[in-house]
Structure 1
Amino acid sequence: MQKIKISGLIVAGALLSGCAAKQEITSFEGDIPNSMCIAHHEEVRPGFLTALEDALYKNGINSQVVSATYVKEHGEVNPKVNLEELKSCPAVLFYTAHWNWDLALYMSYANIWITDSENKNRLAQASYISRHGLDKFIDAEEKVHELVDSMVGSSTLASK
């Protein structure tokens, strides 16, 4: 019986310790535009878009939301945006995110990337993936702010 209790404690300790989340961030190199378009992703919870707008604004970046279609092809999400809507956008922010249940709803994945207006050059990217453990239960809005801050925080706004 004692061995079972000790084994249970070891397993519980292993599950509770260790990092449950992974982040990868590529920040802007040099100046960033002081405005950008956000390609709306209808399948992502609405609060995510609001958090993106707030995080950009907090960093001195104006944003406008444009319509987009996100198509999953060959395991990758490929967004399509009407180029007419992007005429006034020096950069475009795309995003995707997923939530899962495990005792409570939590954001299990988020990917935010910014390209030039022609979607040819990736300018910055931030991704978040949660794994096992209790630290996956984060505030999604705070995580979005953290990811955006990491992408644009060390850069300076262009004076355009």
Structure 2
Amino acid sequence: MKRTIILLAALLGGCSIKQQVAPAELSAASSSEMCTIPAAGLRSGFNTTYVKALQQKGFKVRPLSAGSNPGECELSTTYTATWGWDLALYMKFADIRVFQNGRQIGQAVYDSRWGSGRPDKFIDAENKINQLADELFPRGASALAARYPVSSSIPAPGSLSKEAQIQALQGQGLSYEEYSKRYREILAQ
């Protein structure tokens, strides 16, 4: 009996839903045009919702065909999602990536593939896509016009608000990995 309880606890503990967003580090661009590159076979509803979210963020959207190179445009985004069936159809996984001049500058991932026993996996996909877009582009296309002084370090924790620290971080030209690390450090303050 004790073994059964331990095994059951281990199985339920392994059921998880994960979401991770590293906001797009937008630097000055010549336009706010965003090329959209959906995955082949992506449900049209995902594409429609994400494109609308980008437009609401102030981007001019230019659709490209599935499999296009993100480097074809100054700003581009690739995205994919999968759905599953468990008494109802639900979005199991979504991965949205943002590129500037072919270099990845942001990513949002929602993953409920390991949440088999959790009822909260039955999300409203449209709301989740909008949430991911909001977190991926917190300032929308307005971030393109802003230029911040380049600094080699994050301002002192007490000297600026978290939002101001993140804004200052965006103009530093850091690699995706370094930006993500520093972004998490600011949020943890």
- TM > 0.5 fold call: yes
- Identity, % of aligned positions: 34
The answer for unaligned runs of 5 or more in structure 2 is 147-189
State whether structure 2 residue 116 is matched by structure 1 residue 134. Answer: no
Normalised to the residue count of structure 1, the TM-score between the two structures is 0.71
Deviations 1:48-83 (A, max 9, x none): 1101111111111121111132xxxxxxxxxx4396
Aligned counterpart, 2:50:
52
C-alpha distance 157-100 of structure 1, shift in aligned 2 (>3 A): same
Gaps of 5+ in 1: 1-6, 70-79
Tell me, in whole angstroms, the C-alpha distance in 2 between the residues paired with 1:124 and 1:108: 21
1:29 counterpart SS class: coil
Which residue number in structure 1 is paired with residue 94 of structure 2? 110
**TM (normalized to structure 2)?**
0.61
Whole-angstrom CA distance in 2 between matches of 1:97 and 1:50: 13
Equivalent position amino acid for 1:143 in 2: K
Greater relative contact order structure (CA < 8 Å, 6+ sep): 1
Q: Cα gap change, 1:141/1:82 in structure 2, threshold over 3 Å: closer, same or farther?
A: closer
Secondary structure of the 1:103 match is: coil
Hey, what does 1:151 align to over in structure 2? 136
SS at 2:143 equivalent = coil
Q: Which amino acid aligns with 1:90?
A: E
Superposition CA RMSD, Å: 3.0
Alignment correspondent of 2:83: 99
d(CA) in 2 for partners of 1:152, 1:27: 6
Write out per-residue CA displacement over residues 98-124 of structure 1, whole angstroms, 9 at most, x where no aligned residue. 00000100000000001123x2x1111
**Which structure shows the higher strand fraction?**
1
- For these two proteins, the number of residue pairs brought into alignment is 135
Structure with greater helix share of residues: 2
Instruction: List, as ranges, runs of 4+ consecutive aligned residues in structure 1 with deviation greater than 6 Å.
Output: none
**1:122 pairs with one of 67, 87, 104:** 104
1:23 and 2:7 are equivalent in the alignment:
no
The residue that corresponds to 1:36 in the other structure is 34
Aligned partner of 1:81 in structure 2 is 69
Note closer, same or farther for the CA distance 1:159–1:82 as it changes in structure 2 (3 Å cut): closer
CA distance in 1, matches of 2:28, 2:111: 26
For 1:61-80, list aligned pairs within 5 A.
61-69=59-67, 80=68
* Corresponding residue SS for 1:47: helix
